[in-house]
A and B are shown apart, each in its own frame.
Chain A
Amino acid sequence: MAGSSLMETLFQRTLDDLIKGLRLSLIGEAPFISKAMDEIRREIKSTDHHTKAVALQKLSYLSSLHFYDMSFAAFHVVELLSSSRFSHKRIAYHCASLSFNDTTPVLVLITNQLRKDLSSTSEYEVSLALECLSRIATPDLATDLTPEIFTLLSSSKVFVRKKAIGVILRVFDKYPDAARVCFKRLVENLESSDPQIVSAAVGVFCELSSKDPRSYLPLAPEFYRILVDSKNNWVLIKLLKIFAKLVPLEPRLGKRVVEPICDLMRRTGAKSLVFECVRTVVTSFSDFESAVRLAVEKVREFLVDDDPNLKYLALQALLIVAPKHLWAVLENKEVVIKSLSDVDLNIKLESLRLVMAMVSETNVAEISRVLLNYALKSDPVFCNEILGSILSTCSRNVYEIIVDFDWYVMTLGEMSRIPHCQKGDEIERQLVDIGMRVKDVRPVLVRLGRDLLIDPSLLGNPFLHRILSAAAWVSGEYVEFSRNPLELMEALLQPRTNLLPPPIRAVYLQATFKVIIFCLHSYLVPPASQLVPERNRPEGSDLATSNASAQFEREEGFNPRVLNQSFDDISGDDSEEIGASGDQTTCLASLGTNVWTDESVMNLLNKVEMGVGPLSGSHDVEILERAQNLLCFIELIRQDIINCVSQKEESLLRDETEAYKIIKMMQDAFSNELGPVSVTTQERVPVPDGLELKENLEDLETILPAVQLTSSISFSPESPIQDETAAAPFPTIQNKEESEPSNESTFLLAEHRKRHGLYYLPSEKKDVPNDYPPANDPKSQGNAEDLVKLTEQSLVPKKKSNHEKPRPMVVKLDGDVVAIAAKPQRKDDSLSDAVREVLFRSDTKSSSSQLKPLDSSSSKSKGKEKVNVDTPESKEDLTIDKQDNQNQSSRKSKHQAHGKDRKHRSLRNAGDEMTENGQEGKKKSSHRRSRSKARQRTDAPPSVIPQTQELRVFMDGPPNLLPIQNPPNSNILDWVVLGGLIEFSDSASIVSNSSLQAQPFILLESPSPPPPLLPPPPPPPPPPPPPAELEVKPNILPYMTDSELFTPAIAAQSNGRSPHKRVPKVAFMFLSRGPIPLGPLWEMFFKGHEGLYTIYVHSHPSFVDSTPENSVFYKRRIPSEPVEWGTSTMIDAERRLLANALLDSSNERFVLLSESCTPLFNFTIAYNYLTNAHKSFTASFDDPRKSGRGRYNPNMSPTISISEWRKGSQWFEVSRKIALEIVSDTKYYPIFVEHCNPPCYMDEHYIPTLINIICPEENSNRSVTWVDWSKSGPHPGKFGRNDVSDEFLSKIRFGSNCTYNGNTTTSLCFLFARKFLPNTLEPLLQFSPLLLNSSVQL
Chain B
Amino acid sequence: MIHFVLLISRQGKVRLTKWYSPYSQKERNKVIRELSGVILTRGPKLCNFVEWRGYKVVYKRYASLYFCMCIDQDDNELEVLEIIHHYVEILDRYFGSVCELDLIFNFHKAYYILDELLIAGELQESSKKTVARLIAAQDALVETAKEQASSISNIIAQATK
A contact set with B: CB distance below 8 Å:
2-3, 5-6, 9-10, 15-16, 19, 23, 48, 50, 57, 60-61, 63-67, 69, 85-87, 90-91, 94, 101-102, 124, 130-131, 134-135, 159, 162-163, 166-167, 169-170, 196, 199-200, 203-204, 207, 210, 232, 234, 237, 241, 244, 271-272, 275-276, 279, 308-309, 311-313, 343-344, 346-347
Contacts and interface: CB of A to CB of B under 8 A. Distances in A.
Interface in B40-70: 43, 45-51
Contacts of B158: 5-6, 9, 48
B126 A199 contact: yes
Interface string B129-161: 010001001100110011001000001001111
A9 B75 CA distance: 48
A134 B22 contact: no
A347 B47 contact: yes
A275 B126 CA distance: 20
Contacts of A170: 120
Contacts of B79: 234, 237, 272, 276
A309 B49 contact: yes
Contact of A90 (B1, B17, B138, B161): B138
Contacts of B78: 271-272, 275, 309, 313
Contact of A344 (B16, B46, B81, B107): B46
B51 A65 contact: no
B44 to A, nearest CB: 10
Contact of B76 (A50, A57, A232, A272): A272
B22 A102 contact: yes
A551 B16 CA distance: 84
B11 interface: no
Contact of A16 (B48, B105, B130): B105
A271 B149 CA distance: 50
B123 interface: yes
Contacts of A64: 14, 16-17
A825 B47 CA distance: 37
A2 B124 CA distance: 45
A276 B76 contact: yes
Contacts of A196: 124-127, 130
Contact of A237 (B17, B76, B105, B112): B76
20 contacts: A15-B107, A60-B108, A61-B108, A65-B17, A65-B107, A66-B14, A85-B145, A86-B142, A87-B142, A94-B108, A101-B24, A134-B119, A135-B20, A169-B122, A196-B124, A200-B122, A203-B122, A210-B72, A276-B79, A308-B45
Given A86-B138, A159-B134, A167 B119 contact: yes
A152 to B, nearest CB: 13
A203 B123 contact: yes
Contact of A87 (B77, B119, B123, B146): B146
Contacts of B46: 308, 343-344, 346-347
B89 interface: no
B75 to A, nearest CB: 8
A2 B134 contact: no
Interface in B68-118: 72, 74-79, 81-82, 104-105, 107-108, 111-112, 115
A346 B49 CA distance: 8
Given A309-B81, A311-B47, A65 B125 contact: no
B10 interface: no
Contact of A2 (B17, B20, B119, B159): B159
A343 B45 contact: yes
B149 A308 contact: no
B160 A69 contact: no
Nearest to B60: A309
Nearest to A207: B1
Interface size band for B: 35 or more
A102 B21 CA distance: 12
A135 B21 CA distance: 8
Given A86-B142, A210-B74, A162 B125 contact: yes
A94 B111 contact: yes
Contacts of A309: 47-49, 77-78, 81
A368 to B, nearest CB: 25
A346 B122 contact: no
A332 B74 CA distance: 23
The 5 A-B pairs of least Cβ separation, nearest first, read A272-B78, A166-B119, A308-B47, A6-B159, A134-B120
A125 to B, nearest CB: 10
Interface of B: 1, 14-17, 20, 22, 24-25, 28-29, 43, 45-51, 72, 74-79, 81-82, 104-105, 107-108, 111-112, 115, 119-120, 122-127, 130, 134, 137-138, 141-142, 145-146, 149, 155, 158-161
A86 B127 contact: no
A467 B20 CA distance: 46
A64 B149 CA distance: 27
Given A65-B14, A67-B29, A344-B47, A50 B77 contact: no
Given A94-B108, A101-B22, A343-B46, A50 B149 contact: yes
Contacts of A87: 141-142, 145-146
Nearest to B160: A2
B85 to A, nearest CB: 11
Contact of A69 (B25, B51, B81, B120): B25
Contacts of A5: 158-159
A308 to B, nearest CB: 4
Nearest to B120: A134
B124 A166 contact: yes
Contacts of A312: 47, 49
A344 B44 CA distance: 10
A763 B41 CA distance: 45
Given A15-B107, A19-B104, A309-B77, A167 B120 contact: yes
B122 A207 contact: yes
Contacts of A200: 122, 124
B133 to A, nearest CB: 10
A240 to B, nearest CB: 9
A124 B134 CA distance: 9
Given A279-B76, A308-B45, 12 more contacts: A3-B159, A15-B108, A65-B107, A69-B25, A91-B108, A130-B119, A131-B115, A135-B120, A166-B119, A308-B46, A313-B78, A344-B47
A199 B123 contact: yes
A64 B18 CA distance: 8
Contacts of B16: 64-65
A134 B141 CA distance: 23
Nearest to A158: B130
Contact of B51 (A60, A134, A163, A346): A346
B25 A163 contact: no
A1228 B72 CA distance: 54
Contacts of B115: 131
Given A19-B105, A166-B122, A232-B126, A272 B159 contact: no
Contact of A241 (B25, B74, B108): B74
A94 B130 CA distance: 21
Contacts of A131: 115, 119
A167 B47 CA distance: 33
B25 A313 contact: no
A966 to B, nearest CB: 32
Contact of A86 (B15, B22, B145): B145
Contacts of B51: 346
Contacts of A69: 25
Nearest to A240: B76
Contacts of A2: 159-161
Nearest to A235: B126
Given A166-B122, A200-B122, A272 B82 contact: yes
Contacts of A199: 123-124, 126
Nearest to B24: A101
Contacts of A234: 79, 123, 126
B153 to A, nearest CB: 13
B143 to A, nearest CB: 9
A1127 to B, nearest CB: 36
A1 to B, nearest CB: 10
